[in-house]
Amino acid sequence: MAFPADNSPYYIGMQNWTNAVHPHPDPSLAPLGPPPPYDGAPSAARPTIAGCPPGLEYLTQIEQILVEQKVNYGEMITGWEMSNNYVIKNSAGQQIFTAREDSDFFSMQFFGPLRPFDIHIHDNFGRDVLTVTRPVKCGSCCCPCCLQEVEIQSPPGNPIGYVVQNWHPFFPKFTVMDAARSAQLKIKGPCCDCRCCSDVVFEVLSRDEGSIVGQISKQWGGFLQEGFTDADNFGISFPMDLDVKVKALLLGAVFLIDFMYFETNKNQNQN
């Protein structure tokens, strides 16, 4: 996976992340260090951080996340929709989470990218730390009712917020909400047709849309990957001191954006 340009304002120094010293919003907290590799070892005790859902402690000390969708060769060969799987990394390329879609076979074939899903996110000890749930909603941008949304739970079964589509005739727009459905951030994407041979950037904005807080970038994967698979790569950037729950909500937003705008069956498109 290619990293963004070195002069990107959101990714400057990402290649040297492991050698950098990142200030933490709470100086009393010791750095958690890089995540351990998953080797099937028994669950280890988690460090405790006030206000942080268990399993998301590592998010408190980073400002960039990379989400890589695994290529599904069975889907390429058969043309049938299959469950998506992702690897979630820090900016140094170290795995911090994995994500697995849980959808039934009928829904995947009948609804395609509009299908309902549960995406289970696990840490490197295999523990289920985050769940992203999407119900069946309308898929037409011309219809302002029954728009898309996901619910994010951490720990699973405990909602911490939502990402809800806002109707707009031309641009993808979303509101990031907390558990009480109070707006925290906005997300605004480019015109849906502007996605060829380049990264597609969704700006993360303040509630009043007056300032840019971060971004979600769908990264161009090259002609082979883009032409023959629906495996997509995303980068997320946000302030280091952003509430850890809001960071988790932005991670959940990636899966909704992926399914809404980039999850296409290439075999069907070529037939």
- Per-residue confidence (pLDDT) for residue 192, from 0 to 100: 59
Token reading at 101 = 């879609």
The pTM assigned to this predicted structure is 0.76
| Predicted confidence (pLDDT) per residue in 73-130, tens digit | 666 676 676 778 999 999 999 999 999 998 778 777 777 788 889 999 999 999 999 9
- Per-residue confidence (pLDDT) for residue 231, from 0 to 100: 60
- Per-residue confidence (pLDDT) for residue 24, from 0 to 100: 40
User: In 115-232, where do the E strands start and end?
Assistant: 117-122, 128-134, 149-153, 159-166, 173-178, 183-188, 200-205, 212-219
- Per-residue confidence (pLDDT) for residue 266, from 0 to 100: 44
Amino acid at the residue 118: D
Residues in the chain, pLDDT under 50: 1-31, 38-43, 222-229, 265-271
Distance in angstroms (rounded) separating the CA atoms of residues 135 and 118 = 9
In whole angstroms, how large is the CA radius of gyration of the chain?
18
- Per-residue confidence (pLDDT) for residue 229, from 0 to 100: 46
